[in-house]
Amino acid sequence: MRIGVLSWGVRPSLSFLQDGATRGERLVTARHTRKVAGRARRRGSMRRMSRMSRPAALRTAARVLLAPYLVVLGFIVFLPARSARRVTGIVGWAADVVASYGAPREPAAIVFEFLANIALFVPFGALIVLAWPKLGVWPPIVAALVVSTVIELVQLGLPSRVATISDVVANTTGAAIGVLLVMALRQRRLRTPDADADAPGTAPSDGGA
């Protein structure tokens, strides 16, 4: 009889202990879940901040680089022809290389000068659209057209420089290439999923913690 009473008294104690263990496990699991969720929120916040700061840094860098680029551009287009050739001597060198293989030097020099004028304004379009992304495609191209036209008009008054329509076409084409390159890279970045983002429907790993 005593054994029966003792066994009856032990069962509630064991049940109480089991309930306590279950509650403890639930509490630990809840804490772990909150910890993992907190880490996920922090990671998401850091990613959002990174995405927000990256375009701002690009805008600032483009605006800073635009000033020295315009200074260099001014030296190249307004220096006397003899001095400018020292800066852009690669055109004459390339024409000499082509001429050494039997090709006419003068047409080669014209082609290389046209390509050089294109390359000269690629940074113009790229920096403008990076510095002011809301402008869109056409304003930087129109700005390049206006700037190139002004350059050629000023060169009309410089005795050693020759103003040509082909330079305006080449400069505007270069700016358009710069704008389109930036736009293409921007679209590619928007279409590329964030490599650091967690897959949907899966809990982020918590490093074994």
Q: What percent of the chain has pLDDT over 90?
A: 36
- Using CA atoms, how far residue 106 sits from 95, 119, 123, in Å, is 8, 20, 27
Model confidence, pTM: 0.65
Measure the CA–CA gap between 127 and 130, rounded to whole angstroms: 5
Q: Is the pLDDT of residue 10 over 70?
A: no
Contact 198, 40 (CB under 8 A): yes
Determine the Cα angle at 171 with ends 165 and 173, to 5°: 105
Between residues 135 and 7, which one has the greater pLDDT?
Answer: 135
Measure the CA–CA gap between 85 and 88, rounded to whole angstroms: 5
